[in-house]
């Protein structure tokens, strides 16, 4: 074995060991408010194989640490990782993992959650939304800022939700997302406000999240709540968006948040593991 390959193996093993030692999976019980369960969700998460760092089982574990009850796997223009979701070990208390896609087009990005097949990214925005609905899913406008030109009023009127809360660093982006949400809510009062992380590799799942008021703890129950607009979005600053009555309930007794004392160690572990894999590939 060459020195380069040996060094790559050492880095990879170090990452795996660090990740294992930092592993901790607290359990949580969903909060109930009247007839609804309040489920914490992140509907914009990327996975491996694809453009994310973690596989579906690892993402579900990460969701537990992040204090989430629901995640959607939404890789760019592909549907490989979601097809692996049915192979997850059955655990009725584990977070719900929903199959999805981030449809990536030069004029728009669109989250499809709850679909059963890949949605063609070459379609117009209104056609893509129609395809999502025909597949049984919900359509969520993904980071609908001024960089995307496809969000006309007709297309916006068709979506089920829009990302209004994200952990973005640019103030202009934050304002754009809020402006789109407010513009849409004037014509579609029950559009669902969505908070998402758009996590690829940084273990930031749930830094912005969505509180879903679901009648049942299931993927179907979550999708029904989005269609009805029973959500509250919260960003990394603690700002909330949604129906004032629902926001008041969340302020009174929000579900517990992240329970993860070793996120920094696991971030380093993921980085080391991927460096090791890359180094092995080129050594």
Query: In this model, does residue 261 exceed pLDDT 80?
Result: no
For the segment 134-151, what is each residue's pLDDT rounded down to a tens digit? 999 999 999 998 777 777
- pLDDT score recorded for residue 132: 98
- pLDDT score recorded for residue 3: 57
Tell me how crowded residue 34 is: count the other CB atoms within 10 A of its CB: 7
Among the CATH numbers 3.40.50.10540, 1.20.200.10, 3.20.20.140, 3.40.50.300, which is that of 25-260? 3.20.20.140
In whole angstroms, what is the distance from residue 224 CA to residue 98 CA? 13
- pLDDT score recorded for residue 151: 79
Instruction: Tell me the pLDDT band of 276, cut-offs 50, 70 and 90.
Output: very low
Q: Where do the domains of the chain lie? A: 1-23+261-283, 25-260
Among 72, 32, 40, CA closest to 257: 40
Question: Under DSSP, is residue 71 helix (H, G, I), strand (E, B) or coil?
Answer: strand
User: String of b and e for 156-168 (b: at least 16 CB within 10 Å)?
Assistant: bebbbbbbbbbbb
Q: What is the CA radius of gyration of the chain?
A: 19
Query: In this model, does residue 239 exceed pLDDT 60?
Result: yes
The answer to whether 72 and 113 have CB atoms below 8 angstroms apart is yes
Query: In this model, does residue 274 exceed pLDDT 50?
Result: no
For the segment 95-130, what is each residue's pLDDT rounded down to a tens digit? 999 999 999 999 999 999 999 999 999 999 999 999
Which residue shows structure tokens 């408010």?
33
Contacts of 145 (CB under 8 A, 6+ apart): 172, 173, 176, 177, 180
Provide the mean pLDDT of the chain.
86
- pLDDT score recorded for residue 10: 45
- The tally of CA atoms less than 13 A away on the side-chain side of residue 6 is 3
- Report pTM: 0.83
């Amino acid at each position: 074995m060459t020195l380069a390959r040996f060094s790559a193996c050492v880095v990879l093993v170090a990452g795996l060991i660090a990740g294992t030692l930092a592993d901790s999976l607290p359990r949580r019980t969903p909060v109930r408010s009247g007839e609804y369960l309040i489920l914490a969700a992140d509907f914009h998460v990327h996975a491996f194989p694809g453009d994310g760092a973690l596989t579906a089982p690892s993402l579900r574990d990460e969701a537990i640490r992040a204090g989430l009850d629901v995640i959607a796997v939404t890789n760019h223009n592909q549907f490989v990782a979601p097809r692996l979701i049915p192979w997850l070990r059955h655990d009725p208390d584990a977070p719900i993992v929903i199959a999805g896609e981030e449809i990536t087009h030069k004029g728009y990005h669109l989250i499809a959650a709850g679909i059963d097949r890949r949605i063609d990214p070459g379609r117009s925005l209104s056609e893509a939304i129609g395809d999502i609905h025909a597949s049984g899913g919900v359509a969520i406008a993904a980071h609908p800022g001024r960089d995307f030109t496809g969000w006309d009023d007709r297309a916006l009127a068709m979506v089920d939700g829009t990302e209004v809360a994200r952990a973005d660093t640019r103030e202009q982006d934050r304002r754009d997302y809020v402006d789109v949400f407010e513009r849409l809510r004037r014509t579609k009062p029950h559009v669902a406000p969505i908070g998402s992380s758009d996590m690829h590799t940084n273990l930031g799942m749930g830094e912005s999240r969505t509180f879903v008021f679901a009648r049942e703890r299931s993927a179907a129950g979550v999708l029904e709540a989005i269609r009805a607009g029973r959500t509250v979005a919260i960003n990394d600053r603690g700002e909330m968006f949604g129906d004032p009555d629902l926001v008041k309930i969340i302020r009174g007794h929000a579900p517990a948040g992240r329970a993860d004392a070793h996120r920094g160690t696991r971030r380093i572990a993921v980085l080391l593991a991927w460096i090791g894999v890359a180094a092995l590939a080129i050594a």
